[in-house]
Structure 1
């Protein structure tokens, strides 16, 4: 299994039972990094005690990305949890049953549901709590689009007990590509010394533009430093310093729509 945010190198060697050819040129790629974000609502929705009814609460997600991981947290106070069934419905209509009529006359569901959770076991004073495995796998929602309206439905089969959906949230993960070091549309610039201790010089000869922006990122794509500079007489040369631990970093230099990225090492 490949490690996230790591540069890997590859080469191809042609071979058969009789002979082996020369290796190709070495290529490289950088694995992406998983980032997760919580989307939540805390607007209570009443579950009536005098009727059998399905109530719903919704979360609208504007950002569109492919889901690589998901968990659902709910806070549903309700007397006699054997009355209720909780179901998550995705924007494309896929339904995942989280729990259904568990724990007899016990009260309340305050839990996080994830495919890696524990089996549902009734407890006290809260009927369902902790990190639990849902009745249906949430993996049915992997590799689907996040954008749209997500719905938590709670069906109360009997009208003698009531409660509410006090709050609930979605923890959705996505795979982010690490900053691409192959994008070299600006031209060649130099970083020296490289490796360094976090202090280095950026130099761009034959600078065609006047204004430039330099940004330093860690290998996960997090911005550590941003500075604006002016080239003088076709030369851009500036001293930059970052407070960073040992590792690989990326320096991006941009002017207008042109940019170039180089790696450097801090020791």
Structure 2
């Protein structure tokens, strides 16, 4: 293996040469199991704090929704209405900004959608 860096004026370019690649035949295409994910649709987006979440499947008992700020802190959590694929959330008390909604089922995050609160 070799690494060469060429400097010239404002540009620096690096080149690598690989002599040998080991491959076991396994190809990773995703780190999430697509069968455990739920499709979420959030509207309106942006919103003033009141919005609707549509799930690809009805919510199960114990499912919750978390609203996460950009720092990663949970700023709001709501228990889902079991048996319904359409959920309404109210986050009017939150300051304007970018947030994420996580759908959580059996302790696992099964869906994420982002939204802008005006």
TM-score, length basis structure 1: 0.29
Alpha-carbon offset, residue 265 of structure 1: 0.6
The equivalent residue for 1:236 is 85
Higher relative contact order (CA 8 A, sep 6+): 2
Given that 2:38 and 2:57 are in contact with CA atoms closer than 8 Å, whether structure 1 keeps it comes out as no
Kindly tell me the number of residue pairs found equivalent between the two proteins.
84
Name the SS for the 1:211 alignment partner.
coil
In 1, Cα distance between equivalents of 2:88 and 2:60: 19
Of 96, 100, 108, which aligns to 1:246?
96
Given that 1:186 and 1:254 are in contact with CA atoms closer than 8 Å, whether structure 2 keeps it comes out as no
In 1, Cα distance between equivalents of 2:74 and 2:116: 16
Alpha-carbon offset, residue 208 of structure 1: 6.8
Q: For 1:231-258, what per-residue CA distance to the aligned partner results, in whole angstroms no more than 9, with x for missing partners?
A: 22xx332221111222110100011135
Given that 2:64 and 2:105 are in contact with CA atoms closer than 8 Å, whether structure 1 keeps it comes out as yes
TM-score, length basis structure 2: 0.60
Q: Cα 1:210–1:196, aligned 2, differ >3 Å: closer, same or farther?
A: same
Alpha-carbon offset, residue 230 of structure 1: 3.3
The equivalent residue for 1:206 is 57
In 1, Cα distance between equivalents of 2:111 and 2:81: 17
Gaps of 5+ in 2: 1-30
In 1, Cα distance between equivalents of 2:81 and 2:50: 20
Name the SS for the 2:63 alignment partner.
strand
Of 35, 41, 51, which aligns to 1:190?
41
Q: Does 1:259 align with 2:106?
A: no
Gaps of 5+ in 1: 1-181
* Range that drifts further, 256-265 or 200-209: 200-209
Alpha-carbon offset, residue 261 of structure 1: 1.2
In 2, Cα distance between equivalents of 1:246 and 1:189: 22
In 2, Cα distance between equivalents of 1:246 and 1:217: 13
Determine which structure has more spread, i.e. the larger CA radius of gyration.
1
